[in-house]
Amino acid sequence: MLPVVALTLVPTSRDLVVGCAAEWYFPKLGAVELMANLVLFVPPALLFGVALRRPLLVLVGASAASALIEVLQAFATTLGRSCSTNDWLYNTLGAVLGAAVAVAALRASRAIGVQRASGGH
């Protein structure tokens, strides 16, 4: 989670006012910032989902963490960060992808365990 904090809460040199942009749109191909928001939460959701064996709980936690980050960005204007509902949306979609891969990995792991227990190869 350290990279997530570093990429979302490290101060920049911009001065902003309190507020949050309410946006709900799909990005164009090449919309680097939104795609970065999507990719940002995939690894933590995958790793924590597998480690804790609770991908759904990790998904909810990741979405809540993203919302908290956006709230902090909205009110801690000295960070020079901007709050956007699309950032939360794409962070959450990234967490969905990570959690889905975690579910698949856990199911595959169980299937291998069952196969080994039954003497299969």
| Residue 55 domain-assigned (yes or no) | yes
- List Cβ neighbours of 88 (8 Å cut-off, separation of 6 or more): 63, 66, 67, 70
Phi, psi of 23 (to 5 degrees): -130, 140
For residue 27, tell me if it sits in a domain: no
Q: Is residue 41 part of a domain?
A: no
Taking 90 as the threshold, does the pLDDT of residue 116 lie above it?
no
What are 75-104's pLDDT values in tens digits?
A: 887 877 888 888 999 999 999 999 999 999
Count the domains in the chain: 1
**Separation CA 78–CA 57 (nearest Å):** 32
Contacts of 13 (CB under 8 A, 6+ apart): 80
Segments forming the whole domain that contains residue 73:
47-121
pTM of the model: 0.80
Pairwise CA distance, residues 14 & 19, whole Å: 14
Over the stretch 13-67, which tens digit does the pLDDT of each residue have? Answer: 666 565 677 776 666 666 788 889 889 999 999 999 999 999 999 999 999 999 9
Is residue 15 a part of any domain in this protein? no
Q: Cα separation of 119 and 121, whole Å?
A: 7
Q: Is residue 59 part of a domain?
A: yes
Nearest to 67 by CA among 91, 33, 49: 91
* 79 located within any domain: yes
Residue 56 lies in a domain: yes
121: in domain:
yes
- Structure token pair of residue 89: 């949306």
